[in-house]
């Protein structure tokens, strides 16, 4: 179709003189939008009061049923990133971003019909499945393009985009709250119309990214920049195909590193609000605890940019050594800042903020680590497959945290003591990740794509 | 057909960044406001 040919990779090749600084805003437009998923909890209570309006009615959905919408979206994020990564490498980022925007926007529209007709399966299918596909495609679509535009600073480039995913919740949450308040009437909680408006807004915002994104020409490189002659041991100038990458131990080592880093981060995120209230009883109430959660999200976002940029200077492997070693030490230390020991709220908050910055940093630095090991040829597709570690951690983290805590409480351990055990488990997981990071070595040359194999603009093989 | 070699203008680059930074700044501002509730609750010395 001629209209859609605009989306073809050939049509998105940048003309000479096109500034690479137009590419990160394109990526940010996508990530700021899809990052909304992390603020889905603002819909939880309104969705349980669709019939009762002021309180849950007998036919209203339970919170546990509503929680599955978010879980489905995250699972679909991982699955679609893994499944469609290879397609994205050949179709190009513009087409992938377009499909992502359509899926994400359509997900909201279907969710609107689910809310107004009180059909839960429509919310599962709309926001969870269709929207989740938009999340996965959108998350990985700008990665390899940014790395190709910024061969001198791949960490900075991917950090800027993935920072947007952390920032998306900060926009999505107040936006949804204001829209629901605007649409609320005595007979309607306003959540349906909010879905519809948000779907339209996010579709338009993501389309800005679709129009702005460009891929560099094959012969393009930054002005006054030459590829370094002597590379660090882990940085390759060779490429590894996505299917071959899956056969290397490096892929699975990075999978473990990402999985434990995310699981540990969820250990704090999942219980941030009750934890600070339990550790500082009588000093911190629910309102202040809400402020603490907001502060954590700021550090989660800032850490994505800070750590990935830092990794350009100190290297990817040392950066993960910091996350995993410092992280393990801080997880052991965190409960000791509580009321039973040091009784320092400031220290507790400072430690938790550093931990959350490293949680975000782990997400943002992984694409550059993949580029170092496997080259930029199939990095989006490899990144997509690696994101299954995130989906796994998304299930593993809450299960570990909640089950372990409930087990402890059931056996007479006090609340503060139960947190200590959970934090020690998180520290243990990070030690496992540390060992995996030690084992990361350069990819064996037998896995490299032969230099003689020609590739087209898309980076795919002829 | 002559190849387009026009350099991207600084105004275009600035506009592109503003489009994404304004909503982000709004989100950060709202989050900071919410975070202030924590600092208001913590007595000095703790």
Residue A346 lies in a domain: yes
Please give the residue range of the domain that contains residue A185: 3-212
Same domain, A267 and A414: yes
The two tokens of residue B14 are 């600035």
What CA–CA distance (Å, rounded) separates A85 from A114? 30
Q: Computed over its alpha carbons, how large is the radius of gyration of chain B?
A: 21
Same domain, A266 and A395: yes
What CA–CA distance (Å, rounded) separates A425 from A267? 9
| Res. A458: pLDDT tops 60 | no
Q: Which residues pair with A455 in a beta bridge?
A: A461
Round to the nearest angstrom and report the end-to-end CA distance of chain A.
24
Secondary structure of residue B44 in the 3-state scheme = coil
- pLDDT tens-digit map of A304-347: 999 999 999 999 999 999 999 999 999 999 989 987 788 899 99
Binned at pLDDT 50, 70 and 90, residue A456 comes out as very low
Which of residues A167, A193, A212 is at a domain's end?
Answer: A212
- pLDDT tens-digit map of A160-192: 999 999 999 899 999 999 999 999 999 999 999
Option in B13, B31, B46 nearest A19 (CB):
B13
Same domain, A246 and A205: no
- pLDDT at position A459 is 43
Q: How many domains does chain A have?
A: 2
Same domain, A261 and A376: yes
Option in A17, A205, A288 nearest B6 (CB):
A17
Same domain, A281 and A389: yes
Same domain, A185 and A320: no
Residue A423 lies in a domain: yes
Residue A178 lies in a domain: yes
Burial of A392 (0-12, 13-18, 19+ CB in 10 A): middle
CATH code assigned at A64: 1.20.1250.20
Q: Which of B2, B5, B18, B41 to substitute to test the interface with A, most A CBs within 10 Å?
A: B41
Residue A419 lies in a domain: yes
Residue A228 lies in a domain: no
- pLDDT at position A395 is 79
Orientation of helix A191-212 relative to helix B10-41, angle to 10°? 140
Residue A221 lies in a domain: no
pTM over 0.95? The answer is no
Same domain, A53 and A200: yes
Q: In the structure, how many helices (H) and strands (E) does chain A have?
A: 19, 0
Same domain, A416 and A272: yes
Same domain, A309 and A434: yes
Option in A18, A298, A344 nearest B35 (CB):
A298
Residue A134 lies in a domain: yes
Same domain, A135 and A22: yes
Same domain, A198 and A327: no
Residue B7 to residue A19, Cβ atoms within 8 A? yes
- pLDDT at position A294 is 87
Option in A16, A292, A346 nearest B5 (CB):
A16
Q: Which residues of B touch A (CB under 8 A)?
A: 3-8, 12-13, 16-17, 19-20, 23-24, 26-28, 30-32, 34-43, 46
Which of residues A169, A191, A212 is at a domain's end?
Answer: A212
Residue A333 lies in a domain: yes
| Res. A131: pLDDT tops 70 | yes
- pLDDT tens-digit map of A61-84: 998 889 889 888 988 999 999 999
What CA–CA distance (Å, rounded) separates A297 from A301? 6
The interface predicted TM-score of the complex, written ipTM, equals: 0.89
Same domain, A35 and A87: yes
All residues of chain A having their beta carbon less than 8 Å from the beta carbon of residue B19 are 25, 29, 208
């Amino acid at each position: 179709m001629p209209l859609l040919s605009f989306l073809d990779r050939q049509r998105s090749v940048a003309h000479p003189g096109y500034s690479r600084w137009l590419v990160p805003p394109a990526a940010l437009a996508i990530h700021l939008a899809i990052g909304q998923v992390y603020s889905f909890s603002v819909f939880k209570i309104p969705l349980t009061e669709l019939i009762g309006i002021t309180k849950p009615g007998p036919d209203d959905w339970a919170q546990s049923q509503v929680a599955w919408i978010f879980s489905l979206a995250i699972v679909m994020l991982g699955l679609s990133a893994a499944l469609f990564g290879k397609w994205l490498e050949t179709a190009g980022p513009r087409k992938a971003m377009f499909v992502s925007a359509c899926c994400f926007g359509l997900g909201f529209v279907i969710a609107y019909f689910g809310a107004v007709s009180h059909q839960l399966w429509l919310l599962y299918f709309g926001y969870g499945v269709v929207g989740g596909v938009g999340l996965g495609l959108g998350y990985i679509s700008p990665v390899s393009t940014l790395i190709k535009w910024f061969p001198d600073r791949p960490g900075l480039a991917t950090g800027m985009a993935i920072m947007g995913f952390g920032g998306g919740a900060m926009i999505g949450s107040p936006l949804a709250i204001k829209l629901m308040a605007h649409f609320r009437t005595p007979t309607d909680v306003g959540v349906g119309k909010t879905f519809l408006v948000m779907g339209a807004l996010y579709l338009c915002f993501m389309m800005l990214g679709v129009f702005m994104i460009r891929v560099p020409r094959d012969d393009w490189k930054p002005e006054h920049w030459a590829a370094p002659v002597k590379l660090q041991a882990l940085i390759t100038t060779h490429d590894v195909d996505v299917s071959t990458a899956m056969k290397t131990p490096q892929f699975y080592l990075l999978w473990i590193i990402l999985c434990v880093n995310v699981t540990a981060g969820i250990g704090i995120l999942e219980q941030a609000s009750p934890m600070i209230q339990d550790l500082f009883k009588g000093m911190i109430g629910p309102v202040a605890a809400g402020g603490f959660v907001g502060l954590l999200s700021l550090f989660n976002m800032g850490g994505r940019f800070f750590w990935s940029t830092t990794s350009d200077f100190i290297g990817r492997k040392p950066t993960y050594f910091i996350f995993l070693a410092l992280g393990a030490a801080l997880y052991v230390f965190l409960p000791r800042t509580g009321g039973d020991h040091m009784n320092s709220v400031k220290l507790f908050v400072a430690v938790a903020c550093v931990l959350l910055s490293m949680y975000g940093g782990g997400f943002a630095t992984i694409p550059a680590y993949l580029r170092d090991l496997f080259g930029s040829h199939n990095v989006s597709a490899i990144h997509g497959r690696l994101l299954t570690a995130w989906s796994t951690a998304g299930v593993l983290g809450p299960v570990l945290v909640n089950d372990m805590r409930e087990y402890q409480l059931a056996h007479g351990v006090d609340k503060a003591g139960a947190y200590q055990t959970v934090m020690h488990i998180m520290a243990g997981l990070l030690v496992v990740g540390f060992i995996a990071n030690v084992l990361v070595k350069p990819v064996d040359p037998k896995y490299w794509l032969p230099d003689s194999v020609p590739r087209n603009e898309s980076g795919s093989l002829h | 057909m002559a190849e387009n070699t026009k350099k991207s203008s600084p105004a275009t680059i600035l506009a592109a960044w503003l489009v994404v930074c304004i909503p982000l700044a709004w989100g950060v501002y709202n989050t900071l406001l919410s975070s202030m509730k924590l600092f208001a609750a913590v007595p000095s010395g703790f």
